[in-house]
Amino acid sequence: MTMTARKPGTRTAPPPAPAGATAPAPAASRTRLLDFTDVAMTFANGTTALSGVDLTVDAGEFVTVVGPSGCGKSTLLRIASGLESASAGRVDVRTDRIGYVFQDATLLPWRNVRANVELLAELQKEPKAERARKAQEAIDLVGLSGFERNLPKELSGGMRMRTSLARSLTLDPQLFLFDEPFGALDEITRERLNDELIRLFTEKRFAGLFITHSVSEAVYLSTKVVVMSGRPGRIVKTFDVPFDMPRNPDIRFTPEFAELTGEVSHALREGHR
Amino acid sequence: MTAADTVAAPAAPSAEDPSGGAASGGPAAARRSPGGSRSRLSLWVPPLVVLGVIIAAWYFVSLVVLGRRNYLLPPPHTVIAESFLDTSILVDILDATWRTSQVALAGLGAAIVIGVIWAIAMSQARWVERSTFPYAVLLQCTPILALVPLIGFWFGYDFLARTIVCVLIALFPMVSNTLFGLQSVDQAHRELFALQGAGRGTVLAKLELPAALPAIFAGMRISAGLSVVGAIVGDFFFQRGTPGIGALLSKYVNRLEGAHLFGAIIAAALLGVVIFGLFGLIAKAAIGRWYDFA
């Protein structure tokens, strides 16, 4: 396969903020980080994965894309990250600090938690002390302190996913891409990680683009829910989620939440026909 | 896999923490069940029973079936007494075994180096794979015995020629296993590296080679056994210099010394087992921490 590796170098990023101390300037909060205009994707074998997709992610937004399996949701992320190039349309990604969380934790089994978390900074050729500092900060942030020396095979699925999150956090991403990261986890672990993610989102102020096929996860996590149709994937409807951030876990049981999930589910079913 | 492998492999990779939280204790603890010693016993007893049956059959054939012609198959105690308790014969056998192991290890070392480098070259450049892999397969398909006279003809009938025979026999498993290991790296892992703009050298050193280590060590074990075969085959053909256990085998056959012949065969078998086991231990020491040998 072909892939376009994002070239490092042109990083216009401000120096990473100390954990939880400074909030970004309000002016930055309306920055458009991701802008897809009429994007289409047709693979070499003739499969059309996406057609006519318009999608934006602004700073401060957490956008979740729901859609049936095989509708091209993941392709959206692969284009945004530069792993693949769209076959038509305009793709603007206005940051180089992109975090990408894969479907699986994709940890290297021969590296312990700390070494796995350090990997990305290591590949960016950052000095040893610097990447150790960033790794420790990220490990503490996801609640894995004390497990630094454990190997992936000694961790539960949830802890592996936390390690994967920590690994991406070391990049201090402005735009965080999530490719169904919690799909393989059990319900309780998934709900916990959803709350952790919301906490990270409110603390670190990254913009999120999250792929899932769980409607309630989508509504609970995001500020905006985008519903896609079956292949070729189109955006059929967009919902703004009005609930406060950070979310109170109990909103899941409110009539407003139920109503919104109902509407999203309905749009999903419409689009699937 | 040997019995020892099966015993040492941990039962389950981890204690799953369903909450996904970090609150639980060290997950590496308490893996083996309290019944461990009993299952160890049940691993050793069946092969020992089979060994007993084999020895009984051996005695039966030697003493009852062959009777006076049992120089063809001397009873076990005669083999032990005449080859291992007779110091002069024992020294001959041990010397020959030592020389054979030198040839085998030299050949194996060369096969490992050549095999890994060849596989890396193939994984880095498609054209190298396309143009040379068919010859690796050809090498594997050619009966090496057909090449042995030629090797002697070119390289003499000494240590070098015997080592080359080992390399030819042991090379293919190293090449194919290493190549397979390098090429079966998880696609998501490759993308993880690509997203950071990692170059080929970095991907090779930090991803492909470590990921290929289990396959490389599996290849080493196969090649280790084959290189012992190669060393003994080399002895049969190249008798110049100080040949090893193969030469001793031919000598005992020619002199109809059945007991000594069996002693030498047992020594050759033990050499094979020791080298195979040695590479199992090396693999376990190198990657056993993170890789579970099935």
Q: What is the pLDDT of residue B20?
A: 38
Q: Does A105 touch chain B (CB under 8 A)?
A: no
Q: Decide if pLDDT at B158 tops 60.
A: yes
Q: Decide if pLDDT at A5 tops 80.
A: no
Residue B235: which H helix or E strand, with range? helix B209-237
Q: Among A5-19, A40-54, A165-179, B129-143, which is the least confidently predicted range?
A: A5-19
Q: What is the pLDDT of residue A30?
A: 66
Q: Does A149 touch chain B (CB under 8 A)?
A: no
With beta carbons less than 8 A apart as the criterion, state whether B83 and B263 touch. yes
Q: How far apart are CA A149 and CA B215, in angstroms?
A: 25
Radius of gyration (C-alpha) of chain A in whole angstroms: 18
Q: What is the pLDDT of residue B42?
A: 84
Distance from CA of A180 to the nearest CA of B (A): 14
Which pair of structure tokens corresponds to residue B13? 């990779």
- What tens digit of pLDDT does each residue of B13-61 get? 333 333 433 333 333 444 444 445 667 788 889 999 999 999 999 999 9
The packing angle between helices A157-169 and A128-141, to 10°, is 130
pLDDT band at A74 (very low <50, low <70, confident <90, very high): confident
Average pLDDT over residues B233-245: 81
Backbone φ and ψ of A38, nearest 5°: 50, 45
Q: What is the ipTM of this complex?
A: 0.82
Residue listed under structure tokens 């190249």: B238
Q: Decide if pLDDT at A246 tops 90.
A: no
The CATH class of B76-287 is mainly alpha
Q: What is the pLDDT of residue B38?
A: 66
Q: Is the dihedral angle over the CA atoms B135, B140, B141, B143 positive or is it negative?
A: positive
User: What single-letter DSSP state applies at residue B279?
Assistant: H
Give A5's contacts in chain B (Cβ within 8 Å): 194-195, 197-198
Give the strand order in the sheet containing A224-228: A98-101, A175-179, A207-212, A62-66, A224-228, A235-240
- What tens digit of pLDDT does each residue of A193-232 get? 999 899 989 888 899 999 998 898 999 999 999 998 887 8
Residue listed under structure tokens 């143009």: B131
Give B15's contacts in chain A (Cβ within 8 Å): 156
- Tell me whether residue A26 is exposed, middle or buried, using C-beta atoms within 10 angstroms of its C-beta: 0 to 12, 13 to 18, 19 or more: exposed
Q: How far apart are CA A198 and CA A206, in angstroms?
A: 11
With beta carbons less than 8 A apart as the criterion, state whether A138 and A167 touch. yes
Q: What is the pLDDT of residue A209?
A: 93
Q: How far apart are CA B227 and CA B101, in angstroms?
A: 9
Give B202's contacts in chain A (Cβ within 8 Å): 123
* CB spacing of A5 vs B195 below 8 angstroms: yes
Which candidate in A123, A125, A155, A189 is best for mutational testing of the B interface (most B CBs within 10 A)?
A: A123
How many other CB atoms sit within 10 Å of the CB of residue B186? 14
Domain boundaries, chain B: 25-73, 76-287
With beta carbons less than 8 A apart as the criterion, state whether B178 and B219 touch. yes
Q: What is the pLDDT of residue B31?
A: 44
Q: What is the pLDDT of residue A14?
A: 40
Which pair of structure tokens corresponds to residue A241? 């989620």
* CB spacing of B198 vs A5 below 8 angstroms: yes
Radius of gyration (C-alpha) of chain B in whole angstroms: 24
For A139, the closest chain B residue by CA position comes to B22
Interface of A with B in 228-247 (CB under 8 A): none
> Of all residues in chain B, what percent are helix, strand and coil, respectively (each to 5)?
75, 0, 25
Q: What is the pLDDT of residue B37?
A: 61
Q: Among A2-11, A116-125, B114-123, B272-281, which is the least confidently predicted range?
A: A2-11
Amino acid at A102: F
With beta carbons less than 8 A apart as the criterion, state whether B158 and B230 touch. no
Q: What is the pLDDT of residue A9?
A: 33
Give the strand order in the sheet containing A48-58: A48-58, A32-42, A88-93
Q: Among A2-11, A238-247, B169-178, which is the least confidently predicted range?
A: A2-11
Average pLDDT for chain A = 84
- In 3D space, the residue among A119, A81, A84 whose CA is nearest the CA of residue A98 turns out to be A81
Which pair of structure tokens corresponds to residue A39? 């994007």
Q: What is the pLDDT of residue A70?
A: 75
- What tens digit of pLDDT does each residue of B91-111 get? 888 999 999 999 999 999 999
Q: Does B197 touch chain A (CB under 8 A)?
A: yes
Half-sphere exposure of A30 (CA within 13 A, CB side): 2
* CB spacing of B14 vs A156 below 8 angstroms: yes
Q: How far apart are CA B41 and CA A161, in angstroms?
A: 40
Distances (CA, A) of B63 to A191, B54, B87: 75, 14, 26
Q: Decide if pLDDT at B6 tops 80.
A: no
Q: What is the number of residues in chain B?
A: 294
∠ CA A185-A191-A197 to the nearest 5 degrees? Answer: 100
Give B16's contacts in chain A (Cβ within 8 Å): 156-157
With beta carbons less than 8 A apart as the criterion, state whether A245 and A198 touch. yes
Q: What is the pLDDT of residue B179?
A: 95
Residue A4: which H helix or E strand, with range? none
pTM: 0.79
With beta carbons less than 8 A apart as the criterion, state whether A159 and A144 touch. yes
Q: What is the number of residues in chain A?
A: 273
Q: What is the pLDDT of residue A273?
A: 62
